[in-house]
A and B are shown apart, each in its own frame.
Chain A
Amino acid sequence: MGKRRILRSAAAALLAAALYVGIAVPAFALTDAKVTLDQETGGQPTRFTFVATTDADAAISSIDITFPKGYNLGAMKFDVVTLEGLKRIKNNPTGVAEGTTLKVKFDPQILPNSNLRIQIYNVMTPIKGGTHTLKLAYSAETTNPVPATVQRTGETAPYSYATPPIEEAISRWLDQQGPVKSWNGVKALGMFFKPQLIVTSIPLLFSGWLMALSLVAFGFPLAIFGGLSISFMKMSKVPPVRWIASIYINVIRGTPLFLQIFVVFLGLRIAGLRASDFVSAVAVLAVNSSAYLAEIFRAGIQSISKGQFEAASSLGMTYWQSMRYVIIPQTVKRVLPTMTSEFILLFKDTALFAAVGIFELMMYGNNYVARVANLTPYVVAAGYYLIVTIPLINIVGRLEAKLAQSEHGQAPPEKKNRRSGLFWRPASAGPESEYQASAAVHESERWRP
C-alpha cells in the first residue's frame, strides 16, 4: 500500500518539474487574443477589433498583425487603447502597413497585465468568406526566468465572415469603380439610378414582383367570373336582381380601392374571420375588379346589335344558347382591349397592399428605400411594373386596331409601323371612343332580351 503512494508522489514530482521547464520561457506573452469584425460579409471595408491581455511576466514593445492573402490595407487606419487596470496608458503607437501586415511599435512598451485593444479600420476583405486567421508576431521583454527579449511568432487569432450573395459582391465591386463613383457623384443620377442599388434591388424586389403577379393571377380570373355574373344580373328581367347588381357596381366603383382594402383587412380581423393576408388581398381584388368588369361586359354585350339576338331567337335558340354561341363570342373580341386595360390597372393597384403589410413590390421598395436612404429601389420597382404593363399596353393597342379593322372594314395597317412597339402606341382612339359611345347609347336603351 505504502509502496503505491510513493510511486504516485514520484510521478507528480516529475510532472511538476516538466511544467516548471515549460513556464521557464514566456509561453503566452499575449493571452486571450480575440478578433471581432463589424461586417459579417466579405468584400467590403471592415473594422477589425483585436483584443488581448499581456501576461504578468512580459511587456510588449511591438506587434505585427498579418492578414491572410488577398486583404487590402491600402486605406487602413488604426488606433490603440491600452488599459492598465482602469488607467489608460499612452503608448504612442506608430505603425505601417507592409503588404498585408500591420506593424505597430509601442514606446513606451506595454506593461504586463495590461489590456490591449487595437482597432484597424477600412480593411478591405476578400469576397470569399470562411474562417480566416490573423497571424501574430511580437517582441516581448520578460524577466522570467531571466531578463531577456524574446521574439515570438506563430500565434493566431481566428475569425470568420460569410461570402456575400452575388448581387452584394457585384455591388461592392461597383463601389470600387471610378466611372461608378463619378456617376453617383451627380446627385440626380446617384439618387435615382445608383448602380450598386440597382444590382441589389433586383433580386430583393423579385419576390415582391412574384407576389404582385400572383395576386392578380388569382384575383383577375375570379373577377372575370364575378363580373360576368354581375353583368347578367344587371341585365336581368327581375328588378330586385338588377338593383342588387346596380348597388354592388355603384358602391364598389364609387369608393376607393384603398378604402376597400382597409375595410376587408381590418373588418375580417374584427369579425374574427381568419383569412390569410394573401386570400384577403385576392378577395379584395376580385370584388373590386368584378364591378368594373361587370360594366365592361354589360356594355360589350349590349353593344352587340339587338338583331343578333333576334336572329338567334328566331332560329329557336334559347336565351343561354344565344348568349353562349352568338353574343358572348362577339363580345369577347370587343371587350378584350378594355379588359386588358382593366388588368393593367389591377396589377398596378396591387401596390396599395403595401399599406396592409403584403410583401409585394411596393412594400419591398419602401423598406429598402428607407434602409439605404436612396430612391433607386423605387426605380427598380417601376421597372418591374413596366415589364408587365408595357407589353400589355402594346397588346391593347394592337387589339384595338384589329377590332377597328374588323368592325369598320378598314384596310389592313401598313407594315411600316412594325416599330409601333415600346413607347409609341398606334393612334386608335377612334374605335374605342365609338365603342364607348355605342355602349352609352345601349345603356339608355336598356336592352333586355
Chain B
Amino acid sequence: MSQFIVRIEGLHKSFGSLEVLKGVDLEVTKGEVVVILGPSGSGKSTMLRCINKLEQPTAGKIFLEEIEITDPKTNINEVREQIGMVFQSFNLFPHLTAKGNVMLAQRKVLKRSKAEAERIATEQLDKVGLGDRADYFPSQLSGGQQQRVAIARALAMDPHVMLFDEVTSALDPELVRGVLDVMKQLAAGGMTMLVVTHEMGFARDVASRAVFMDGGVIVEQGTPQEVFDNPQHERTKDFLGHIS
C-alpha cells in the first residue's frame, strides 16, 4: 500500500502552442499540507486544475491513491467527489442559499437524504463559523464569508484531498484572516491539502512542504524553512526577494 494520496508523473500541459507545464513530478502523502509558490504564469494553478481534470493533461499520469485519473476509462466524476476544490472566485451557486450550496452535491452526487445533507451542511457551516448565515444567499455575504461557504461545500463531500487555488487573492485584506484560520484549522485536523497561495505567512506556519514552481517545472522544494530561509536556486531567491 502506497501512502501517497496524489502522485503526479511527468505532467505536461499545453494550451495550443503555449506549453504551460513541462514535466511536473510530485507526490503528496496523507496529511501533508503542500504549499505551491511561484510567479504568475509558472503553471501552479494549471497543475492544480489538472489534478481534478478541470484541465485535460497533454501528457503524463496523475494518480489519486490507486486510481489513475488520467486513464480515459476512469469515471472522472467519481474521482472528483474525493477531491475538494476551492477557487479564487468562490464560484458559489448564486441561486442557492449557503446551506443550499453545501447540500446540492451531497444530495445529487452522494445521494444523501435531505435530512442527512442538511445535518452535514449545518455542521460544516458551523465549522467555518457561518452557522448563523445558513439561509443567506451568496450576494448577501462578504467575500470572506462566501469563500468559507465554498470551503464548507467542498468539505461536505468528505474529500480525501483539498485543492486551494489562490483562495484569498480576491479578498479584501481584512477578510483574508478568517479564511486562513479555517484552512489552518483544517490542516490541524489532518486534511491533505495542496495550496496555491501568495500568503507567505500561512506557508511558513502551516505548510509541511513548500514547492516552488517556475516556467512550468518544479524548481525547488523542501520544508518551508529550507525554501524560504535557505533557497538553493537562483530563481527562488529572485522570487522571494520580490515578494518580501
Contacts and interface: CB of A to CB of B under 8 A. Distances in A.
Interface in A317-331: 317-318, 321, 325-326, 329-330
B109 A308 contact: no
Interface string B65-104: 0000000000001101101110101011111000000001
B209 interface: no
A445 to B, nearest CB: 13
Contacts of B153: 315
Given A305-B91, A314-B83, A315-B154, A409 B105 contact: no
Given A330-B94, A409-B139, A325 B80 contact: no
Interface size class of B (residues with CB under 8 A): 20 to 34
Nearest to A311: B91
A314 B54 contact: yes
Contacts of B150: 311
B87 A317 contact: no
Interface in B146-177: 150, 153-154, 157
A151 interface: no
A310 B84 CA distance: 12
Contacts of B108: 317, 321, 325
Interface in B183-233: none
A312 B153 CA distance: 11
B74 to A, nearest CB: 13
Contacts of A330: 93-95
B46 interface: no
Contacts of A312: 93, 105
B95 A321 contact: no
B94 A317 contact: no
Interface in B22-65: 52, 54
Interface in A285-336: 305, 307-308, 310-318, 321, 325-326, 329-330, 333
A406 interface: yes
Main secondary structure of the interface of A (DSSP, over half): helix
Contact of A311 (B78, B83, B87, B109): B87
A5 to B, nearest CB: 112
A315 B157 contact: yes
B127 to A, nearest CB: 18
B109 A317 contact: yes
A16 to B, nearest CB: 106
B77 A316 contact: yes
A333 B80 contact: no
B87 A310 contact: yes
A314 B80 contact: yes
Contacts of B89: 305, 307
Interface of A: 305, 307-308, 310-318, 321, 325-326, 329-330, 333, 406, 409
11 contacts: A312-B93, A312-B105, A313-B52, A313-B80, A315-B81, A315-B154, A316-B78, A317-B77, A325-B108, A326-B104, A330-B95
Interface of B: 52, 54, 77-78, 80-81, 83-85, 87, 89, 91-95, 104-105, 108-109, 139, 150, 153-154, 157
